[in-house]
Chain A
Amino acid sequence: MTNVIEVQDISKRFTIHHERNQTLKERILHPRSGSSEIFDALSDINFTVAQGETLGIVGHNGSGKSTLLKCICGVLKPTTGQIRLRGNLAALLELGAGFQHELSGRDNVYLYGSMLGFTRKMVDAIFDDVVAFSELEHFIDTPVKFYSSGMYVRLAFAVAVNVNPDILVVDEVLAVGDERFQAKCIDRIRRFQREGRTILLVTHQADTVRAICDRAIVLDHGNMIADGPVTEALRIFRERLLGDVIDHRPGGSGVVTIDGLSAPSGSFEVRHGSSLRFDATLTCDHAVSGNLVIEVFTRTGLLVSRNDAEASPVTLRPGVNKVGVELANVPLLDGVYDLNVGLVEPQGATMLAWREKAASLQVLYDGRSSGVVAIESSVTQW
């Protein structure tokens, strides 16, 4: 398999000027004033992406995801290192960047196409597809300054995916636009995958990563802390977020740990449609209250259910606590599922404790449905 993207030792250092000294007059009058600070947004990033792979990039806000994408598509020059690309690339860093407000949608399609590096001929060939995809047939000759933000997004995305780049780079833009258009974009991304194109995707939505990426890397304060299968990377990402929470707690006190889960029957086995009771053991060094979060995953990494457990607040005393949990009427079909358990603050903002794969759940089912859950269907002939 050939590598279409090779990122070698990329670092990016920003200089942040505190007092902006941006005129000649000020420079002459105050030659030495104006302090500045350096900030390493990326440190020694290395990875490769093979042809046809879909790589997810996850990380907290400000971890350097956008900076990395900008280096890859050449908007920013890395401070050190180099990036090799094979094939042409279309990047959606910010939708509609590069649109000229005064120009019509039509003119902007051509202009934007040429910004992405495609010739007028190539854009001619796909123009009708772009318009059809964006569903802007009636507005294509209207100046884009009259477009709504949704229309903007649609046109920009339509250009980027229809120019059929070898590499598509998308930075958190799937989240905008209505759900139907989002689904259409994801559809198009899947077609890209089938055609063996390479995709780099930054998104906040873990589910999107799980659903469409083959691999993910995790950035944390500009360092790459994981590169591997999606489930593994997302686990590391979550642990690191949690680690940050503990590190940043004032005084370093108030540590809560989830020691484990235990089922009264001794095993986490449950028959489809019946309930499962188990206990969670939590240790903490001071009284704390929060809500218990339970996630259920398939072994292929699909999130089946996550309840933010607003309805299940618990108050923990210092020391060892046991809380009882009941999963009612488990609708799952047979198979093995992983349970993740966490404790979030009552407001749901910070994760106080997290335990990945706290238990594996074995579901027994002997009906005829297949899949993950049973959806009852009844057929009536009129």
Chain B
Amino acid sequence: MVSARASLRTRLSNLIARRELLLSLITSDIRIKYKGSALGLFWSMLSPALTLATYYLVFSVFLKNGIPLFVVYLFAGLIVWNMFQTAVSSATGVIVDRAGLVKKVSFPREILALSNVGASVIYFVIQIVVLAIFLAIVGHAPAWGFLWLLPISFVALYLLTASIAVVMSAITVYLRDVRHLMDVVLQLWFWVSPVVYSYENSIAPALRIRGLTALYFINPMTPIILTFQRIFYVNTTVRSTTTGLPLHILPAWSMTTFAEVNVGLLVFAVALFLVALVIFGRLEGNFESEL
């Protein structure tokens, strides 16, 4: 059934019906990237492993900030950020880049953006594996009790990323320079997220005094990153290796608080994803005269 405007229900059921196409697009993307090399998986693990090794060296030898195993804190946040950033920046131009396909083959167009998100999920999983291996090597156990929050947080991250990717891919059809704008926005976004610095240990007290804590948490990436850091880095307060003073690295939330935050975020992400599909549906109607 084809009609002037498809309802959200139809959009969702079309998406679900075409999940095989989504998988095909993801695998063909990855296959092109590694040109069928048998070492593909190895290479894809090598790059995050090298990153991790470099940070380990840098932060434990040269840039001692006093936070023990800072590299684990950093990498836990980076995993989340990389998934978001690579998916959004590759999906932003995807409909423009694949115009030939969009104009000649019928499929739910948002699948293109979702396939980029899918490819990022694969790299996300690879990085998690690398991190797990690293933790085993250095003998640092994750917070097992919090581990069940990981899937919830991940699904929220996935839907959040997918929503932004889908909407941006459609907007770029109309405004081509949004791509460059998005690069800048992502840079800023990165710095307002607690990836390379500890929120608790830096601006948290200042914001708390002024009652502006909520402002920092408008960024939905923040709670996800904090959850991952809580799971992998574990400690909320550590003793500085340089001064010996206690450092507040992560918010000292209870497990219930973390659970509430994540479930709340998941609900928000689901709603956002549905809104994104509706927006995409509106914008999609005019693709043929813009591509």
A binds B: yes
Seen from chain A, the residues whose Cβ lies within 8 Å of a Cβ on chain B are: 14-17, 22-25, 27, 71-85, 91, 93-94, 97-98, 100, 102-103, 107, 110-111, 114-115, 117-120
Check: B175 CB closer than 8 A to any chain A CB. yes
Q: Are A71 and B101 in contact (CB under 8 A)?
A: no
Residues of B within 8 A of A84 (CB): 1
Given contacts A74-B2, A114-B21, 12 further A-B contacts (CB under 8 A): A17-B289, A22-B174, A75-B103, A77-B4, A81-B3, A93-B104, A97-B100, A97-B101, A102-B35, A115-B107, A119-B20, A120-B24
Seen from chain B, the residues whose Cβ lies within 8 Å of a Cβ on chain A are: 1-5, 17-18, 20-21, 23-25, 28, 31-32, 35, 100-101, 103-107, 174-178, 181, 284-286, 288-290
Q: Are A23 and B101 in contact (CB under 8 A)?
A: no
Q: Are A14 and B289 in contact (CB under 8 A)?
A: yes
Contact of A82 among B3, B17, B288, B289 (CB under 8 A): B3
Contact of B18 among A24, A27, A75, A117 (CB under 8 A): A117
- Selected A-B contacts with CB under 8 Å, 15 pairs: A14-B288, A14-B289, A15-B289, A22-B174, A23-B177, A24-B178, A27-B175, A78-B3, A80-B4, A82-B1, A91-B106, A97-B100, A103-B31, A110-B24, A115-B21
4 closest cross-chain pairs (CB), A and B = A97-B104, A74-B106, A82-B3, A114-B24
Residues of A within 8 A of B106 (CB): 73-75, 91
Q: Are A82 and B4 in contact (CB under 8 A)?
A: yes
Residues of A within 8 A of B288 (CB): 14, 76
**Considering the chains assembled together, what is the distance between the CA atoms of A103 and B176 in angstroms?**
28
Q: Are A22 and B290 in contact (CB under 8 A)?
A: yes
How far in angstroms is the closest Cβ of chain B from A169?
Answer: 10
How far in angstroms is the closest Cβ of chain A from B261?
Answer: 34
Residues of B within 8 A of A119 (CB): 20
How far in angstroms is the closest Cβ of chain B from A255?
Answer: 39
**Considering the chains assembled together, what is the distance between the CA atoms of A140 and B105 in angstroms?**
22
Q: Are A100 and B28 in contact (CB under 8 A)?
A: yes
Most central of B28, B106, B174, B178 by chain A CB within 10 Å:
B106
Contact flag A78-B4 (CB < 8 Å), given A22-B176, A23-B177, A102-B32? yes
Most central of A76, A77, A110 by chain B CB within 10 Å:
A77
Residues of B within 8 A of A27 (CB): 175
Q: Are A98 and B2 in contact (CB under 8 A)?
A: no
Closest to B36 in A: A104
How far in angstroms is the closest Cβ of chain B from A106?
Answer: 11
Q: Are B28 and A82 in contact (CB under 8 A)?
A: no
Q: Are A22 and B175 in contact (CB under 8 A)?
A: yes
Contact of A75 among B1, B25, B31, B105 (CB under 8 A): B105
How far in angstroms is the closest Cβ of chain B from A142?
Answer: 12
**Considering the chains assembled together, what is the distance between the CA atoms of A77 and B133 in angstroms?**
50
Q: Are A25 and B177 in contact (CB under 8 A)?
A: yes
Q: Are A85 and B1 in contact (CB under 8 A)?
A: yes
Q: Are A97 and B290 in contact (CB under 8 A)?
A: no
How far in angstroms is the closest Cβ of chain A from B291?
Answer: 10
Residues of A within 8 A of B24 (CB): 110-111, 114-115, 120
Q: Are A81 and B4 in contact (CB under 8 A)?
A: yes
How far in angstroms is the closest Cβ of chain A from B131?
Answer: 31
Q: Are A71 and B2 in contact (CB under 8 A)?
A: yes
Most central of B1, B20, B100 by chain A CB within 10 Å:
B20
Contact of B105 among A17, A82, A93, A103 (CB under 8 A): A93
How far in angstroms is the closest Cβ of chain B from A20?
Answer: 9
Q: Are B175 and A24 in contact (CB under 8 A)?
A: yes
How far in angstroms is the closest Cβ of chain B from A277?
Answer: 54
Contact flag A115-B177 (CB < 8 Å), given A72-B2, A76-B288, A79-B4? no
Closest to A102 in B: B32
Closest to A100 in B: B28
**Considering the chains assembled together, what is the distance between the CA atoms of A76 and B4 in angstroms?**
9
Q: Are A120 and B105 in contact (CB under 8 A)?
A: no
Residues of B within 8 A of A75 (CB): 103-106
Contact of B101 among A24, A73, A98 (CB under 8 A): A98
Most central of A16, A85, A98 by chain B CB within 10 Å:
A98
Contact flag A114-B2 (CB < 8 Å), given A91-B106, A102-B32, A103-B28? no
Closest to B290 in A: A22
Closest to A17 in B: B289
Q: Are B3 and A100 in contact (CB under 8 A)?
A: no
**Considering the chains assembled together, what is the distance between the CA atoms of A199 and B3 in angstroms?**
21
Residues of B within 8 A of A117 (CB): 17-18, 21, 107
**Considering the chains assembled together, what is the distance between the CA atoms of A235 and B24 in angstroms?**
46
**Considering the chains assembled together, what is the distance between the CA atoms of A14 and B284 in angstroms?**
13
Q: Are A83 and B3 in contact (CB under 8 A)?
A: yes
Residues of B within 8 A of A107 (CB): 28, 31
Residues of B within 8 A of A17 (CB): 289-290
How far in angstroms is the closest Cβ of chain B from A30?
Answer: 13
Q: Are A24 and B286 in contact (CB under 8 A)?
A: no
How far in angstroms is the closest Cβ of chain B from A271?
Answer: 55
Residues of A within 8 A of B181 (CB): 24
Contact of A23 among B31, B176, B286 (CB under 8 A): B176
**Considering the chains assembled together, what is the distance between the CA atoms of A103 and B284 in angstroms?**
28
Q: Are B175 and A16 in contact (CB under 8 A)?
A: no
Closest to B22 in A: A114
**Considering the chains assembled together, what is the distance between the CA atoms of A80 and B177 in angstroms?**
32
Q: Are B21 and A23 in contact (CB under 8 A)?
A: no
Closest to A110 in B: B24
**Considering the chains assembled together, what is the distance between the CA atoms of A77 and B282 in angstroms?**
11
Q: Are B176 and A98 in contact (CB under 8 A)?
A: no
Most central of A14, A97, A114 by chain B CB within 10 Å:
A114
Q: Are B178 and A98 in contact (CB under 8 A)?
A: no
